[in-house]
């Protein structure tokens, strides 16, 4: 049984649009992006920071 999931969108300052199907997914996606594209920034962010920047997208 799947609970309704909230989609998230996070526009990275570098221009990449990251999307996730839920909190865990957007956090995972964002950290993967940070480690790949902005390794010097990855250590400065925590889950709460990612979720603070992410925007809930309806649907």
Per CB under 5 A, residues contacting Zn ion are 12, 14, 16, 37
The number of beta carbons lying within 10 Å of the beta carbon of residue 20 is 21
C-beta of 5 vs 16, nearer to Zn ion: 16
Q: Are 50 and 10 in contact (CB under 8 A)?
A: yes
How far apart CA 56 and CA 59 sit, in angstroms, is 9
**For Zn ion, which is the closer residue by CB, 13 or 58?**
13
**Closer CB to Zn ion, 2 or 14, in the complex:** 14
How far apart (Å, rounded) are the C-alpha atoms in residues 2 and 22? 12
Shortest spacing between CB 33 and Zn ion, in angstroms:
6
CB of 4 to Zn ion, least distance (A): 29
């Amino acid at each position: 049984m799947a609970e309704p999931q909230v989609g998230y969108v996070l526009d990275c300052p570098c221009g990449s649009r990251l999307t996730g199907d839920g909190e865990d997914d957007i956090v995972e996606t964002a950290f993967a992006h940070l480690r790949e594209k902005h390794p010097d920034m990855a250590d400065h962010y925590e889950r709460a920071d990612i979720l603070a920047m992410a925007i809930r997208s309806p649907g």
